[in-house]
Amino acid sequence: MENRENQSADTTSAGVPADAVNEEVDIFEHATNNKDVPHAKAYRVRIDGKEVRVDTPNPTGEQLLGKVGKRPCAFELIEEFAHHKNNVVEPSEAVDLRKKGLKGFVTAHKEIVTIFINDTPNQIDRGNRTVAEILAKVGQTPAGYVLSEEKDGRFIPLSPDRPVKIHGCEVFRSQVEFDIQIDRVHYKVTQDRMTGRQLRNLPTPPIGPDFDLFEVVPGGSDLKIADDEVVEIRNGLRFFTVPSQINPGANGFLWEDSDVTCR
């Protein structure tokens, strides 16, 4: 307990001696002059030629990348030394800024970067990639899923026929895509629950109030869908519309046998 108390009194939370006399030290100057880097309250560090201030002698690679607005999902950090080979720093690795000969750091864009699909990190080659390649990372295909990319806080659906530019750190979301029909017209939707009002808004123009919306029930009575009624969506679900005064199934009216659009 006494040793811990002495250690706490002698150092700050950043690992800097409490009695450090140097306010700020430039590690580049000490490296080029082959001098030891003394303890200090802060260190002036060059990253890609830009000077930044670091308040601990042992920052992680990720913290140093953050000083120049970069992230380990797209970039790697490399130590530069005055008299021996450079060294790649892992994101969680603690760097000793007082290491003799350390001049600073450079960053390099990774060839294999990390992207995030449904909050899960996945590695992929940087450059133009297809939607199919991205979905394959989570065992999915464009045949059954829609891929969206986060842009300015919103998820924008991506066309499966256009390449996706991958720099690293992109955030994607995949959703199941359902194929449903309204009056024999196919619609692709991603919601697994939709109200009657949402279904009415799928066609262009939307289904008006003078038509009723029904769900086809094979072998049973078709179900009239109210605007506020919630429908469990599944692949292949079919709906049809009829003028409000017509009773489906009556007077020989059967959606299955009709060759005309009801609206």
Q: Where are the domains of the chain?
A: 2-109, 112-176, 178-257
* Per-residue pLDDT at 212 exceeds 70: yes
- CA–CA distance, 60 with 94 (Å, rounded to integer): 4
Q: C-alpha 63: how far from its chain's center?
A: 21
Q: Which residues, other chains included, contact 115 with Cβ-Cβ below 8 Å and sequence gap of 6+?
A: 73, 121, 122, 123, 124, 134, 137, 166, 168, 169, 170, 171, 172
CATH architecture of 178-257: Roll (3.10)
Structure confidence by residue, pLDDT tens digits, 94-133: 999 999 999 999 999 999 999 999 999 999 999 999 999 9
Smallest CA-to-CA distance from 191 within 165, 230, 150, 218 is with: 230
Which residue do the tokens 């609206």 mark? 263
The mean of the pLDDT values for the chain is: 89
Of 32-46, 146-160, 181-195, 240-254, give the lowest mean pLDDT range: 240-254
- CA–CA distance, 255 with 215 (Å, rounded to integer): 10
Please state, for a pLDDT cut of 70, what percent of the chain lies above it. 85
The kind and range of the H/E element at 57 are none
- The structure's pTM equals 0.71
The span from the first CA to the last CA of the chain, in angstroms, equals 84
Instruction: Return the sign of the alpha-carbon dihedral for residues 29, 30, 31, 37.
Output: negative
Fold agreement between 2-109 and 178-257: yes
**pLDDT for residue 84:** 78
- CA–CA distance, 55 with 47 (Å, rounded to integer): 15
| The CATH number of the domain covering residues in 2-109 | 3.10.20.90
Instruction: Return the sign of the alpha-carbon dihedral for residues 179, 181, 185, 188.
Output: negative
Which residue do the tokens 């939307």 mark? 206
State which CATH number among 3.40.50.1000, 3.30.1700.10, 3.30.70.890, 3.10.20.90 fits the domain covering 112-176.
3.10.20.90
Cα torsion at 155, 161, 166, 171 (round to 10°)? 20
What count of other Cβ atoms lies within 10 Å of the Cβ of residue 128?
A: 11
Q: What mean pLDDT comes out for the span 242-255?
A: 64
**Helix, strand, or coil (residue 102):** strand
C-alpha R_g of the chain? 31
